[in-house]
Amino acid sequence: MEKRDLPEVLVLDTCVLISNVLRQLLLRLAEHSCFRPAWSGVIGDEWRRNASRLWGVPAPEIQAQWLALQDHFPHADQGVIEGFKSGLHRSDPKDWHVIAAARAAKAHNAGIRAGIITRNIRDFNRTELRGYGIELFDPDDFLVRCWQQFPLPAASVFAEIPAFALAPGRELEPVQTILKRERLFRLNRLYPCPQ
């Protein structure tokens, strides 16, 4: 069997899920079996709170969106993760719950590789994560590597990026504009976006 470059399970941090483009992009890649998404109740609480505030959407509507995500990815929520914070010292304590979700995913799925996708790379100590066998990715690095490992499904999903960014009453934007706004600079340089 061919060795995977990327982990099978990836915890999607709140800062990644809060972006409509990144959330839809990553979850579509998950639907194409590029990885299995994981999160925790804490990530869900943060997402619901921040999404409601940032988007000005009523809390019940955000709750309904979160429940739809749970239904679509029924194995993503790692359940009770508090015990998996044990032994953490070097990473930012505010992000221990993200590491705990990755550790829980490894415990629930023997023999798999697990990682974290986050924009807050500096909050995570790579040495500490390596000690637990957890890999760390910023969204740009992950998407480039995903495209390299899974070129056909990734290209199919990347073609949907303008639709992911479409706001009501607005016209579709070029992929390059969206990638720059989402700070996906490497992907923007490497991916052959249509002009």
Q: Give the strand pairing for 114-117 and 36-38.
A: unpaired
What is the pLDDT confidence band of residue 3, given thresholds at 50, 70 and 90? low
> What's residue 52's pLDDT?
87
Closest CA to 45 of 32, 62, 25, 58: 62
Instruction: Convert the pLDDT of each residue in 111-166 to its tens digit.
Output: 999 999 999 999 999 999 999 999 999 999 999 999 999 999 999 999 999 999 98
> What's residue 8's pLDDT?
96
Separation between Cα atoms, residue 11 and residue 118, nearest integer Å: 9
Angle separating helix axes 96-108 and 41-55, nearest 10 degrees? 130
- Extract the tokens encoding 164: 């992911």
**Helix extents (H) in the chain:** 14-17, 20-31, 41-55, 59-72, 96-108, 126-131, 139-149, 151-158, 161-165, 175-181, 185-190
Domains observed in the chain:
9-190 (3.40.50)
